[in-house]
Amino acid sequence: MAKVLILGSGGREHALGWKMAQSEQVTEVLFAPGNGGTAVGKGRNIPLDGQVKHWEALAKLIQQEQIALTVVGPEAPLAAGLVDFLQSRGLTRVFGPSQAAAQLEADKFFSYKMMEKLNIPQACGVCCTSMAAAKEAIQTLASGRGIVLKVRGLAGGKGVVVCHTRAEAMERLPLLVDTFGSEILVAERLSGPEFSVFGISDGSRVRLIEIGLQDHKPLYDGDVGPNTGGMGAYGPAPLVSSTMIRHIADSVMTPIVREFKAQGTPYTGFLYAGLILTEQGPKVLEFNVRFGDPECQPTMCLLKDDLYEVLTRSFDVNSAFAKLSFLPGAACCVILSSQGYPGPIKKGLPVSGLDDAAKLPGVQIFHSGTKRVGDRIETAGGRVLSVTAYAPSGLVEATKRAYEAVASISIEGGFHFRTDIAAKAVS
């Protein structure tokens, strides 16, 4: 019998913990800090998070509670070295990459160079360390479709500027350099539909999540408006065949994991490749060292295997390498966000209708940014709820069910959501 700790507070963490709680081996799921939806059933919230100042307390918690498995949800504590810190305390059952391996997301120069070395298809680019070098790269790179400027380090989703022309890139460069410094990856702009592929690495092998997922990052319908953390996701995306996913596993995920192993810094944890399907085939836009949010929410609704067992196996390189299995059909997640998101928002607004929504067939309401105050749920973040629905018959029904659930929820003062999640795939 085992206790699990999930670090993080979003919809991704709620979905991971929800799935974990379905394991017969799991007696309790602790969330640090969790949210208004996580302390139910086997769930318990602990008022700690991934900031360095809480690491000592997290180590103590894992020891005192005899946690059998810790899963780190977001990238920031991974990039800061939480896994290494816990391992140095003898706590080895922590699922997520080391600081060295987390550079794959935290350092765009590092990932660009690794992909170049491994011949992984990506946009042509130049790693620049001064404004002058960036200007020169903007002038010399092929720019038929435009130029993309990427800040080298983690920038909370604000570090990528997609420009349609060289002139626009020249104009936007100074503000980016002022805000984030002069280490900028200048790359050609690619075009095509985007999708994500996920795997679970044990340091040597990748267990593939064999469904293509699509996120919807822009705020408004039709993919317009400011970029967000993601306004909805669905899978399996019909755009991504199993052959394509397996090709990506062989030509992208496995070489990355082998390279980390060869460098002496094995990559363990979720591996997330963000791809774009160009006329020349799929190319990698970025790697992340965690699960995607909201892609995780529909994925957890589709995964058949016991998540506790799957993740625990990744600590044993001698374990049998079984394929992951998924339910037939599809799942769709619609994000409800606070008015004003991704800009400033008001918190503490009451949320209602959750119980009715959760009673609808196939519907699972994961909380993203909420807080429980007495017996009421209040808003506590930009993305408030991840309304997710599964349907065995496929995406049309899953999407319909998700939007039916959205219709029974209200938030004082209103909320925003996209009405076209998965629309391109079902039309």
Give yes or no for residue 215 binding ligand GLY (CB under 6 A): yes
Q: Which of 295, 341, 386, 402 binds ligand GLY (CB under 6 A)?
A: 295
Span from 9-17, 69-77, 185-193, 290-298 in contact with ligand AMP (CB under 6 A): 185-193
Question: Angle 172-176-178 (CA atoms, 0-180°, nearest 5)?
Answer: 120
Residues 160-179 that bind ligand AMP (CB under 6 A): 160, 162
Query: Binding string, 276-295, against ligand AMP, x = CB under 6 A?
Result: ---------xx---------
Residue 420: burial class (beta carbons within 10 Å; 0-12, 13-18, 19+): middle
The residue count for binding ligand GLY (CB under 6 A) is 6
33 binds, among ligand GLY, ligand AMP, none (CB under 5 to 8 A by kind): none
With a CB cutoff of 8 Å and minimum separation 6, the contacts of 339 are 345, 346, 413, 414, 415, 416
Residue with Cβ nearer ligand GLY (295 or 397)? 295
Q: Which of 75, 194, 210, 397 binds ligand AMP (CB under 6 A)?
A: 194
Give yes or no for residue 216 binding ligand AMP (CB under 6 A): no
Span from 20-28, 68-76, 183-191, 397-405 in contact with ligand AMP (CB under 6 A): 183-191
Helices 166-180 and 131-140: crossing angle in degrees, nearest 10, is: 160
d(CA 85, CA 103): 16
Residue with Cβ nearer ligand GLY (159 or 362)? 159
Residue with Cβ nearer ligand AMP (26 or 169)? 169
Shortest distance (Å) from residue 322 CB to ligand GLY: 26
Q: How many CB atoms lie within 10 A of CB 267?
A: 26
Give yes or no for residue 190 binding ligand AMP (CB under 6 A): yes
Q: How many CB atoms lie within 10 A of CB 100?
A: 17
Beta bridge partners of 389: 332, 363
CB 208 within 8 A of CB 253: yes
Coil, helix or strand for 117?
helix
Q: Does an H or E element contain 344, and which? A: none
123 binds, among ligand GLY, ligand AMP, none (CB under 5 to 8 A by kind): ligand AMP
Q: Which two tokens stand for residue 240?
A: 């991504």
286 binds, among ligand GLY, ligand AMP, none (CB under 5 to 8 A by kind): ligand AMP
Give yes or no for residue 148 binding ligand AMP (CB under 6 A): yes
Span from 137-145, 287-295, 307-315, 406-414 in contact with ligand GLY (CB under 6 A): 287-295
Q: How many CB atoms lie within 10 A of CB 241?
A: 12
424 binds, among ligand AMP, ligand GLY, none (CB under 5 to 8 A by kind): none
DSSP, residue by residue, 240-289: S-HHHHHHHIIIIIHHHHHHHHHTT---EEEEEEEEEEETTEEEEEEEES
d(CA 96, CA 73): 8
User: Measuring CA to CA, which residue among 322, 317, 240, 225 is closest to residue 273?
Assistant: 240
Give yes or no for residue 189 binding ligand AMP (CB under 6 A): yes
With a CB cutoff of 8 Å and minimum separation 6, the contacts of 133 are 126
Q: Which of 37, 292, 362, 382 binds ligand GLY (CB under 6 A)?
A: 292
Residues contributing to the site for ligand GLY (CB under 6 A): 215, 230, 288, 292-293, 295
Binding site for ligand AMP (CB under 6 A): 123, 148, 150, 160, 162, 187, 189-190, 194, 217, 274, 285-286
